[in-house]
């Protein structure tokens, strides 16, 4: 466990630009509209950034270094096609159980991976892949599967439903000075349920071939720093769904998140973007402005700017809908209580668990990677304890 902690809990200092933003949030927080930034700073290091060391981001694959090689076999370039199901009396919880999977290797050849006695299939394909694989395997709404010609193995109506994605909105500016390249970092959380985040990156802009004022070769791009300030709402309450575009697992499913279908999400976005406006008017952000003619100072935006009248709810709501983007923290589709039980067993099917973000109804405000890795570890320890008791 100590080795695992060392792998996950790696500290990283805030880049200069984001540190200035955090200082501004402290000042803006004096009117009690912000939750303590200190708790955000601490949680950020334990959840959002800890998988970064010496510029290299770590993934779940790195944890294989801590696995017992005698107990694990990994098939690389393998794509699971479907889950194999069979009627069995081995599991008292259901008359139907998972007995293995069919997968395809990189050359297109099919293979079977079968569970051993008292073994289980652990499905961890994410909020998009897990419900897709269940549907292709015949687990889902009976009428929907039948309409696609998929033999129904088990009627489970909520597979692919209650799909969520945290909408992200914000602004991007070109600062007058270069900034360090920075991943997205949380710099504040509002009481209204918005996570405020900042990032900076260097983007190459290629000059036109016949530039009039800038004589640079067309092969030599101009590198500009772009700073982004964004807000992501907690939850959300708006729900979407997933349906199959094909019975071929290699074809991406059709996903609809229904952003801002809940008026509560719209209100949270408006409150969050207004807070971005407060930050832009703060003292520290003056350094990010360009000096114009006659002494005026303004930001130079890349993409849409905030509405001029931040008090106009209609304009702010329109901005939220026009500029919404994803931060790729999809979750749901196999939510607990509707598709899996509290021990992550698929309801009605034995020897099959879903252990990933598809079981969540709320995603952590920061990057959920470490949270999901700990979910896997929690369930792994739980299974080991259960097996020891049964012996």
Residue whose entry in the numeric block shows the structure tokens 């350094």: 287
On whether the CB atoms of residues 196 and 25 are closer than 8 A, the answer is yes
Query: Given the DSSP bridges, would you call strands 194-205 and 222-233 parallel, antiparallel or unpaired?
Result: antiparallel
Return d(Cα 221, Cα 207) in angstroms, integer: 6
Q: Which of 329, 331, 345, 391 is catalytic?
A: 329
Return d(Cα 350, Cα 347) in angstroms, integer: 8
* C-alpha count within 13 angstroms, C-beta hemisphere, residue 59: 1
Kindly give, in sequence order, each residue whose CB lies less than 8 Å from that of residue 378, ignoring residues fewer than 6 positions away. Answer: none
By 3-state DSSP, what share of the chain in percent is helix, strand and coil, each rounded to 5?
30, 25, 40
Return d(Cα 134, Cα 156) in angstroms, integer: 10
On whether the CB atoms of residues 57 and 8 are closer than 8 A, the answer is no
Helices (H), 56-141: 126-136
Length of the chain in residues, anyone? 391
- Secondary structure (3-state) at 366: coil
> Is 329 part of the annotated catalytic residue set?
yes
- Residues catalogued as catalytic: 329
């Amino acid at each position: 466990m100590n080795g695992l902690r060392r792998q996950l809990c790696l500290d990283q200092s805030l880049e200069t630009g984001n540190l200035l933003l955090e200082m501004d949030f402290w000042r803006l927080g004096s009117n009690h509209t912000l939750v303590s930034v200190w708790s955000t700073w601490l949680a950020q290091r334990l959840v959002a950034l800890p998988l970064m060391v010496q510029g290299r981001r770590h993934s779940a694959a790195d944890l294989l270094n801590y696995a017992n090689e005698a107990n694990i076999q990994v098939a690389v370039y393998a794509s699971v096609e479907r889950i194999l199901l069979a009627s069995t009396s081995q599991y008292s919880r259901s008359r139907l159980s998972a007995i293995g999977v069919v997968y395809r290797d990189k050359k297109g050849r099919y293979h079977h991976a079968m569970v051993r006695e008292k073994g289980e299939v652990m499905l961890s394909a994410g909020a998009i892949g897990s419900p897709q694989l269940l549907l292709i395997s015949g687990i889902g709404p009976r009428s929907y599967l039948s309409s696609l010609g998929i033999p129904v193995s088990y009627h489970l109506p909520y597979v692919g439903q209650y799909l969520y994605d945290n909408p992200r909105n914000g602004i991007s500016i070109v600062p007058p000075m270069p900034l360090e390249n920075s991943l997205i970092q949380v710099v504040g959380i509002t009481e209204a349920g918005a996570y405020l985040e900042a990032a900076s990156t260097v983007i190459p802009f290629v000059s036109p071939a016949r530039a009039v004022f800038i004589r640079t070769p067309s092969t030599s791009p101009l590198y500009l720093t772009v700073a982004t300030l964004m807000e992501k709402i907690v939850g959300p309450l708006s729900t979407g769904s997933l349906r199959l575009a094909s019975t071929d697992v290699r074809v991406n499913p059709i996903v609809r998140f229904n952003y801002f279908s809940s008026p509560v999400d719209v209100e949270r976005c408006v409150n969050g973007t207004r807070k971005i406006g407060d930050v832009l008017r703060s003292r520290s952000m003056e350094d990010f402005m360009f000096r114009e003619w006659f002494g005026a100072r303004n930001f130079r935006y890349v993409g849409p700017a905030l509405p001029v009248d931040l008090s106009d709810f209609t304009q702010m709501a329109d901005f939220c809908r026009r500029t919404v983007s994803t931060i790729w923290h999809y979750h749901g589709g196999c939510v607990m209580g509707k598709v899996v039980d509290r021990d992550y067993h698929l309801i009605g099917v034995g020897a099959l668990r879903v252990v990933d973000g598809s079981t969540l109804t709320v995603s952590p405000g920061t990057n959920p990677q470490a949270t999901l890795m700990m979910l896997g570890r929690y369930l792994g320890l739980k299974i080991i304890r259960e097996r020891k008791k049964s012996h």
